[in-house]
Amino acid sequence: MANTKHDVIIIGAGVVGCMVARLLSRFKLDVLLIEKDSDIGMGASSANTAIVHAGYDPKPGTLKAEMNVAGNRMYDQLAGELNFPFERRGDYVVAIGAEEFVKLEGLRQQGLENGVPGMVIIDGADVRRREPNINPDVSGALWASTGGICDPFAVAVAAAENAVVNGVTLLTDTAFQDFIMEGTRIVGVRTNRGDFRSRWVVNSAGLYSDVVMHKAGLRPEFKITPRKGEYYVFDKAEITINNVLFPVPSATSKGILVTTTVHGNTIIGPNALEIEDKEDRSITRVGMDEIWQGALSLIPSLSLRYSIAEFAGLRPGGNAPCANPNVKYDKDFIIEIPKQVEGLVNLGGIESPGLTSSPAIAVRVVELLKDAGEKLEEKPEWNPIRRARPRFRDMLPVEQKLLIESHPSYGRIICRCENVTEGEIIAEIHAPVPARTYDAVKRRTWLGTGRCQGGFDTARVVEILARELGVSPLEVSKKGKGSEFLVRPTKEKEAEQC
Amino acid sequence: MLKEKYDVIVIGAGPAGLAAAIEAKKTGAQDVLVIERAQELGGILQQCIHNGFGLQILKRDLPGPAYAQRFIDELAGLHIDTLLDAMALNVTSGRHVSATSRWSGFVDLDTRALVLAMGCRERTRAQIALPGTRPAGVFTAGTAQRFVNIEGYMPGKRFVILGSGDIGMIMARRLTFEGAKVERVLEIMPFLTGLTRNYVQCLMDYDIPLQLRHTVKRIIGNDRVEAIESVQIDEQRQPIPGTEEIIPCDTLLLSVGLIPENELSRKAGVSLDPVTGGPFVDEKMQTNVPGIFAAGNVVHVYDLVDWVTQAGWLCGRNAAEYAISERKRHGRRVKMKAGDNVRYIVPHTLDKESLAESVQRLQMRVTLPIEEPVWVEVMNGEERVTRKAELYVRPGEMVNIDIPQSAYDAVQRASELSVRVIKRQGG
C-alpha cells in the first residue's frame, strides 16, 4: 500500500477524523485514514461526558460557538443516517442560591447571540418538580431544549464504518512521523508503516495536533495542553438521574455535571486539570474527591456505594486566538488551509464541544477544499446509511426469540450485567471497522461496563477473540500490543500441548 | 425436552443449587429443572482445584471439583432436568422464568416454586476506587483463577495481591506453584479477612509476605501494569505519608470481597437487605415473594462450602413442599373455558368444593347473536354437566347459568369445564 498515491490522507481517527472521512467518502476521492492506536476513537472521543451541547457556552464570535450550534443542528439527521444512540432530551444549567441565578440570564443572552433556539429560564420550584433529587437550595435553571446525549464512541465508529463501506481505507496501528515535502508542498506522510503519498493531508490528530502542525513548520507557538477530566459511573439499578444537569459554569470550565447517559447509567464529572503528559489518563484520589464534592452540590443524595467505574479522559485544549480580531479569546478551534504550506487542512484545539461540532467541522473542511480549487465530484453510489446491528438487550422478548432462532449465537449471553451475546461480539469482530481487542469489543457492545466490570466476561471474550481472529489466546490484548492478558500456558497445559 | 411448567426451578448449579435441586426431588417435587450459565454443573467449585471442601458435612477433605462431583452424580440419578450454558434473563413475581442459550433458544417456563442460587460475584477495582492508570494486568482473583485452572494460561509473572480474602491467598500459592513470583499480599484491615488455615498453608509455607494496614495507592503502567505503589494507612484508613513504596510487578490481583448476585431477584420483586446484599429470608429460606426461595451465597457470603450445601438442602426441601401444596390447591380447582359462541366466562376458575356450599352462578357474553331458541350447556368434555334454555342470545345481553349442587359429583371428575351456546334444533 505504501507509495501508492492517495487524494487525501487524514491523520487521526477520532470523531473529527471519522466525520471528515465519512463526508469525503461522498466524493470521487481516494481517502486514507490513519490512526496510531489499535482502534479508532481511543482518545478524547471515547472518554468524555457524551453530551451534544446546545451551544450557549462558547464565547460569541468564536469558531467554537459557530461549529457547536451548526453541529448540534446536524445531529438528528446524522443519528438517523448512521444509527447511533442519540437523545435530544435537553439540558439544565442549575443555579444554587440567588447569586448563581443572576448568571443564568447572561448565559441565555450568550446562547441567543450564538443562535441557540429553545432556551428558557425556569424557577427553583419548577426545577425541583422536574428533578426531585436536586439540591433543595436550587434557585432556578436555564433549560436548553436542544441539548442532547449520545454514545460518543458509537458516533465515531458509525461514521468510520460508513466511510469504509463507501471506499475509505482505514489503517490502525499506523503512527504519523513526519510530512514528506517538496518545497512548501506536502506530498505525503511518513509513518511507522512506511510512506504514503497524497495531494492533501488533514491534521485531525487531537492531542497531537500541535506536534503534527509543527512538523509542517506551522504555528510554532501553538500548544495543546491536555486537560484531564475524571468521572464516576453509577450502577443503573441503584441510581437514576434522568436529566443532564450542569452547574453554573466557571471561567475555565463547564463544571462538574450530574448526567444520564444513553446506556442508562448516571455519570458525574469531569474536573479540569491541566497536565503535560498526553497519555496520562490515570485516576487520582484528589480528582475523585473533587468531582464527588462537585456532584453533591447538585444532587446531595448520591451515594458512592453505587459507583461501578471510574475513568479519565484528556481534552485536547489549545491556545489559538480567535480568527476574528474583535473577539478576545485564545482557546479557539483551528480549522484552516494555511498559506505557508500547500496541501494541508489544519485542525487543532478541537476540545469540547468537539464531539458536537464534528459534523460541522467536516462540512467546513469540504468547503475549504472547494475554496482551494479542489473539484469535488459526487459519487452516485455513495450510501449515507449505516445500519445498526442487533442489540439483544434493547429487544423485546419476541424479537430476541426470533433472532436466536435464526442466529443461535445470539442465545449465548457473555456479559451477564449488560446482557451482551456472543452473536453481537462476533458481529463486531467482523464489522467494517473490526474490533480486535477486548476494549474495542467493550466500546462497541458495552459489555464489561456493568457491576462486575468484566469479571464474568473477560475469559470468555478472550476465547472468542482468539477463535474469531485465528490467534492464540496469548495474543489477545486489552487495547493493543503490549497489553496482552496472558503471558504463557500453565505447566499442565504445556504438557498437554507437547 | 423441557417442560412448560415445573414444580421447582433452580437458577444456578453451584453447591447451593445442586443441593436444593437434589433435596427438592427427594422431598417429592415431580419436575425439577436446574438452569446453569456454565457449560457444566458445579459452579465456581470447578475452578477451585485446591483442597479444603467437605470436612464438615462429608468428613473428608476434597478439592472443589471432587466435592461438586458427588452432588452432580447424585443429581444425575434423580432424573432432574438441566439447562446448561444458559442464562436466565428474567424472573417475575409470578414465577415465570425466561432463559436463553445457543442450544435451547429462548425459552419461557413456569414453576410452582423457584430457588435463587446465583451465588456471588467479586468486588472490582472500581468498587474500591483504586487510583492510577487502567492497563491490562488488573484481575479479580477469581478471574485469574479461571484463567489458570480452567483455561490453562498464566495471567502474569510477577504479582501483587490486594486483599487477604481466601481466593487471593489460595491464588498466591497456586501462582507460586506455576513458577510465578508473588511479591506481596496487602490488606487494608488490621486483621486477616480470610481463614487462618489459608494464611498458614498458602502464604507462610511459601514465604509470601502479608502486610496488614496496607493498600494500593495507585496503579502504574499504560498498556500493562508495570508497578503498584503501596502505602500504609492509619486507624482512620488515611494513607501515612512517607510509607509509600513502589513494587514492580506485571499483575495486580484483587481479593477484596464478594457481593451476592441479585439482579434476577430484583426483577422478581424480591426485597434485599442492604447489609448482606442478599434477599430477606425466613426460616424456610423463603423471600418476601411467596414461592421464591434463595440459598447460598446469593443470600449472604459464606466461609465454607459445606454450609452452603446445607442451606441448599433446607431451601430445596421447603421449595418442594411449597410446590406440592400449590399443586394440591390447584388440583381442587376447575378451569372455565369458553366454548362455541361464548366469548368469556366469569369466574375463570371454580373451587370444586364450592358446590358443597351453594349453587355456583356463571356469567358470560356470547360472540354472535342467535335469534332463535338455544341451549346454554356446561360440558366436561363430551359429558353434559347441566344446561339451560334461552329463547335467543345477543352479545349485548349477558347470559347467566347456574351449576346446581346436584352436579357436585360430575364436577369432581373435571379439570376443565366448557360452556357453549348452540341452537335448540328440534328440541
What CATH number should be reported for the domain holding residue A25?
3.50.50.60
Q: Would you say the CATH fold of B124-256 matches that of B5-120+259-330?
A: yes
The model's pLDDT over A144-178, given as tens digits with 9 standing for 90+, comes to 999 999 999 999 999 999 999 999 999 999 999 99
The model's pLDDT over B320-332, given as tens digits with 9 standing for 90+, comes to 999 999 988 877 8
Comparing CA positions, the residue from B164, B161, B162, B160 lying closest to residue B195 is B164
The model's pLDDT over A400-455, given as tens digits with 9 standing for 90+, comes to 999 999 999 999 999 988 999 999 999 999 999 999 999 999 999 999 998 888 88
- At B127 the pLDDT is 84
**Burial class (CB within 10 angstroms; exposed 0-12, middle 13-18, buried 19+) of B408:** middle
C-beta of residue B138 within 8 angstroms of C-beta of residue B221: no
Taking only residues 155 to 184 of chain A, the set having a beta carbon closer than 8 angstroms to any beta carbon of chain B reads none
The model's confidence at residue A327, banded by pLDDT at 50, 70 and 90, is very high
Q: Tell me which amino acid residue A357 is.
A: S
CA distance A328 to chain B (A): 37
Q: Are residues A197 and A250 in the same domain?
A: no
Task: Specify the 3-state DSSP secondary structure of B342.
Answer: strand
- At B126 the pLDDT is 83
Q: Does A1 score more than 50 pLDDT?
A: no
Averaged confidence pLDDT in chain B: 95
Q: Does A252 score more than 80 pLDDT?
A: no
Q: Are residues A425 and A484 in the same domain?
A: yes
Rounded distance between C-alpha atoms, residue B225 and residue B134, angstroms: 8
Averaged confidence pLDDT in chain A: 95
- At A238 the pLDDT is 84
The model's confidence at residue A3, banded by pLDDT at 50, 70 and 90, is low
Answer whether residue A242 is part of any domain: yes
C-alpha dist (Å) from residue B415 to B5, B48, B380 = 17, 50, 8
Domain count within chain A:
3
Residue of B nearest to A401 (CA): B106
The CATH fold of domain B5-120+259-330: FAD/NAD(P)-binding domain (3.50.50)
Whether A485 sits inside 8 A of B155 (CB atoms) is: yes
Instruction: Find the mean pLDDT for residues B297-321.
Output: 97
- Buried/exposed A221-231: b ≥16 CB within 10 Å, e otherwise: ebebbbbbbbb
Q: Does A395 touch chain B (CB under 8 A)?
A: no
Whether A484 sits inside 8 A of B224 (CB atoms) is: yes
Query: B373 is written with which cell numbers?
Result: 331458541
Instruction: Find the mean pLDDT for residues A373-402.
Output: 96
Across the interface, of B101, B143, B148, the residue whose CB is closest to A458 is B143
Q: Which helix (H) or strand (E) holds B421?
A: strand B416-423
Q: Are residues A307 and A210 in the same domain?
A: no
Q: Are residues A249 and A311 in the same domain?
A: yes
DSSP classification of residue B296? G
Comparing CA positions, the residue from B142, B225, B143, B170 lying closest to residue A463 is B143
Whether A411 sits inside 8 A of B100 (CB atoms) is: yes
Q: Are residues A332 and A292 in the same domain?
A: no
Task: Look up the domain containing A487 and give its range.
Answer: 392-497
Instruction: Find the mean pLDDT for residues B396-419.
Output: 94
The CATH fold of domain B334-423: Immunoglobulin-like (2.60.40)
The model's confidence at residue B426, banded by pLDDT at 50, 70 and 90, is low
CA distance B279 to chain A (A): 16
Comparing CA positions, the residue from B327, B324, B309, B319 lying closest to residue B284 is B319
Locus of grid cell 462540512 = A363
Q: Does A2 score more than 60 pLDDT?
A: no
Whether B153 sits inside 8 A of A481 (CB atoms) is: no
With a pLDDT cut of 70, the percent of chain B lying above it is: 100
Q: Which helix (H) or strand (E) holds B170?
A: helix B166-177
Q: Domain ranges in chain B? A: 5-120+259-330, 124-256, 334-423
Whether B37 sits inside 8 A of A413 (CB atoms) is: yes
Cβ-Cβ contacts under 8 Å, B134 against chain A: 281-283, 311
Instruction: Find the mean pLDDT for residues B360-366.
Output: 96
The model's confidence at residue A237, banded by pLDDT at 50, 70 and 90, is confident
The model's confidence at residue A496, banded by pLDDT at 50, 70 and 90, is confident
Q: Does B274 score more than 70 pLDDT?
A: yes
Q: Does B72 score more than 70 pLDDT?
A: yes
Instruction: Find the mean pLDDT for residues B73-79.
Output: 97
Q: Does A275 touch chain B (CB under 8 A)?
A: no
Rounded distance between C-alpha atoms, residue B395 and residue B364, angstroms: 9
Cβ count within 10 A of residue A90: 18
Residues in chain A: 498
Phi-psi group of B59: left, alpha or beta (phi > 0 → left; psi -120 to 50 → alpha; rest → beta): left
Rounded distance between C-alpha atoms, residue A186 and residue A171, angstroms: 20
The model's pLDDT over A32-73, given as tens digits with 9 standing for 90+, comes to 999 999 999 999 999 999 999 999 999 999 999 999 999 999
C-beta of residue B365 within 8 angstroms of C-beta of residue B395: yes
Report the CATH number at residue A308.
3.30.9.10
Q: Are residues A308 and A291 in the same domain?
A: yes
Give the CA radius of gyration of chain B.
30
Q: How far apart are the first and last CA of chain B?
A: 49
Whether A485 sits inside 8 A of B104 (CB atoms) is: no
DSSP classification of residue A400? H
- At A305 the pLDDT is 86
Taking only residues 437 to 466 of chain A, the set having a beta carbon closer than 8 angstroms to any beta carbon of chain B reads 451-456, 458-459, 462-463
Q: Does A292 touch chain B (CB under 8 A)?
A: no
Query: A330 is written with which cell numbers?
Result: 485564545
Q: Are residues A178 and A135 in the same domain?
A: no
Q: Which helix (H) or strand (E) holds B11?
A: strand B5-11
CA distance B120 to chain A (A): 10
Hey, which residues of A are catalytic here?
53
CA distance A336 to chain B (A): 34
Whether A416 sits inside 8 A of B263 (CB atoms) is: yes
Q: What is the CATH number of domain B124-256?
A: 3.50.50.60
Instruction: Find the mean pLDDT for residues B216-236.
Output: 96
Rounded distance between C-alpha atoms, residue B282 and residue B287, angstroms: 7
Query: B97 is written with which cell numbers?
Result: 422464568
Instruction: Find the mean pLDDT for residues B26-55.
Output: 96
Rounded distance between C-alpha atoms, residue B78 and residue A299, angstroms: 55
Q: Does A251 score more than 80 pLDDT?
A: no
Q: Are residues A300 and A251 in the same domain?
A: yes
C-beta of residue A443 within 8 angstroms of C-beta of residue A39: yes
Among residues A274, A294, A315, the one where a domain terminates is A315
Instruction: Find the mean pLDDT for residues B386-392.
Output: 95
Among residues A299, A315, A331, the one where a domain terminates is A315
Instruction: Find the mean pLDDT for residues B128-149.
Output: 95
